[in-house]
Structure 1
Amino acid sequence: MTTVRTTTPSHDPLPEREQKMAALSYLNEAWAEARLDGIDDDCMAQACLFAALAELVTTYGETATATYAEGLSARIRNGEFTVDIARQ
């Protein structure tokens, strides 16, 4: 799937990696705020997955999104979504 380019206030397109990092930062902030409001992490995860898949279906269609989702199990097993954070 291709990423839709967004622009900065100066209308220069952000590189794809920077867009993804900025998007993740926004999601992390929203997640932290939801936690403060007492929303369970599992509920947030399920809602985020639903919203993400719904957006992909809207953008790319059901077939392309299903094909993309089929590849997620291998990526999960390969540790692509494992975050190593030292917990204190």
Structure 2
Amino acid sequence: MIDLHSSDLDDLIVAEKKQVAIEYHNEAWADGISDGIEAEILAETAITTAVTELVRRYGESDVLELLDQLRQRVEFGEFRAERALQ
């Protein structure tokens, strides 16, 4: 019998939702590329849509903090395609 605490189960649910969301985004991205939309346009509109929704839900201050964290992650190379996983 598997003994999962409530927080463990919540973490698993969030992880599953994130995986499904990634799959949705990948499908939409592939459809856009297939329809002749450039990757730069897809990326910019995805970021704009996400930031708009986050500001609506959490406010500008919280979103600016998130963007600062994302900037640091970019600077540390987390999003490089050629980065080595350890």
Q: TM-score range by the shorter chain?
A: 0.7 to 0.9
Structure with max Cα Rg: 2
Amino acid in structure 2 at the alignment position of 1:24 = I
TM-score (norm 1): 0.73
Pairing 1:22–2:20 present: yes
Distance in 1, matches of 2:57 and 2:81, equals 28
Correspondence for 1:39 among 28, 37, 40: 37
TM-score (norm 2): 0.75
- Runs ≥4 in structure 1, deviation > 4 angstroms? none
For residues 9-88 of structure 1, the aligned pairs below 5 Å read 15-84=13-82
Q: Which runs of 5+ in 2 are unaligned?
A: 1-9
Residues 56-80 of structure 1 deviation map (CA, whole Å, 9 limit, x = unaligned):
1111111110111111111112232
Percent identity of equivalent pairs: 36
As a proportion of its length, which structure holds more helix?
Answer: 2
Q: Which runs of 5+ in 1 are unaligned?
A: 1-12
Q: What is the RMSD of the two structures over their aligned residues, measured on CA atoms?
A: 1.5
Larger relative contact order (Cα-Cα within 8 Å, sequence gap ≥ 6): 1
